Amino acid sequence: MDRTLEDLFDRQGGFATTAQLLARLSRRRLEAAVAAGDLSRVWHGVYCRGEIDDLRRLQALDFMCGTPVPVCLGTAAALYGFDTEEPGDLHVLSPPGSRLRSADGLVVHRREGAPVQTVAGRPATAAAWTAVEVARTLRRPRALATLDAALRSGTCTRAELWRAAVAQAGRRGIVAVRGLLPVADGRAESPMESEARLVMLDGGLPVPELQYRVVDGNGELRRLDFAWPERRVAAEYDGEFWHDDPAAIRRDRRRQVALQEVGWTVERIVLEDVRRFPVELVARLGAHLRPVAVA
């Protein structure tokens, strides 16, 4: 790339339009630069040097619009650190007066009244608003996972989530979100733990303590994913790769025996229990939690 082009990209934050490039290069040389990886097409009519990531894609939108473009929904959730769904598209708000349109990999929204704040130098819909807006687009289990993750991130409080839900009254899915807010809990450490807890609550089980601490028979401090301390019953969620790791299996067996030595019953939970056999999971846990009959 010649010095003239380098200067152009430097002046414009690393971006240039097709028209600017064709004023200095032939179409064939432009295509050759893209094929060689020296230039990348970010959006229609906009190129940058080198590789593209989401940050560069957003910066290219800023360049196109002449102003920082606010992010929303899953893109904003990722910025705050509580995205549970990992959407492939970027979700942004249309800046006032812009002609930005949705394209492959880009969804442009218009959200009148959405509160916007700056996060890591990028305008984004406020954390609580974002969490509620994402949650109301999802099935109940994933909605709870988003609300839990938002609280865990520390970027918003339950009260702020309630206020955001009130502000979004009448929108699709908001009734389900309001029903989940009382049971949202930032102590849930993964989306599947959130899903499992919702199965328990929907099945009528008592509300479990999350990340409950107990000293086991080896004198080690353990944290239990779900616990009912008054019955000394616990449940642990095992990730999808747990059964493929012999060392992890041995550690968990040792852990389970050590908990049994101090009077705890521990049930293991896997993804299939939560998503395919929820009734059986509730029955299995309920058998340990039912009151003991008095003779």
Q: How confident is the model at residue 200 (pLDDT cuts 50, 70, 90)?
A: very high
Sign of CA dihedral 282, 288, 289, 291: positive
Measured at the alpha carbon of residue 102, what is the angle toward residues 101 and 103, in degrees to the nearest 5? Answer: 115
Ramachandran class of 70: left when φ > 0, alpha when ψ lies in -120 to 50, beta otherwise: beta
Q: Give pLDDT, residue 23.
A: 92
Cα distance between the two ends of the chain: 88
pLDDT in tens, 10-67: 999 999 999 999 999 999 999 999 999 899 999 999 999 888 999 999 999 999 999 9
Write down the pTM of the prediction: 0.90
Average pLDDT over residues 76-99: 94
Q: Give pLDDT, residue 246.
A: 73
Q: Is 225 helix (H, G, I), strand (E, B) or coil?
A: strand
| CATH of the structural domain 209-289, one choice from 3.90.1300.10, 3.40.960.10, 3.30.470.30, 3.30.413.10 | 3.40.960.10
pLDDT in tens, 88-124: 999 999 998 888 999 999 999 988 789 999 999 999 9
Q: Where are the domains of the chain?
A: 3-52, 67-185, 209-289
Q: How confident is the model at residue 292 (pLDDT cuts 50, 70, 90)?
A: low
Q: State both tokens at 130.
A: 């974002």
Chain-centroid distance of CA 224 in Å reads 23
Nearest one of 88, 186, 73 to 127, comparing CA atoms = 73
Report d(CA 102, CA 60) in Å as an integer. 14
Q: Which residue has the higher pLDDT, 295 or 65?
A: 65
Report d(CA 102, CA 92) in Å as an integer. 9
User: Under a CB-based contact definition with an 8 Å cutoff, are residues 21 and 4 in contact?
Assistant: no
Average pLDDT over residues 190-215: 97
User: Under a CB-based contact definition with an 8 Å cutoff, are residues 15 and 60 in contact?
Assistant: yes
User: Under a CB-based contact definition with an 8 Å cutoff, are residues 126 and 136 in contact?
Assistant: no
Q: CB under 8 Å to 147, separation ≥6 — which residues?
A: 131, 132, 135, 161, 177, 180, 181, 184
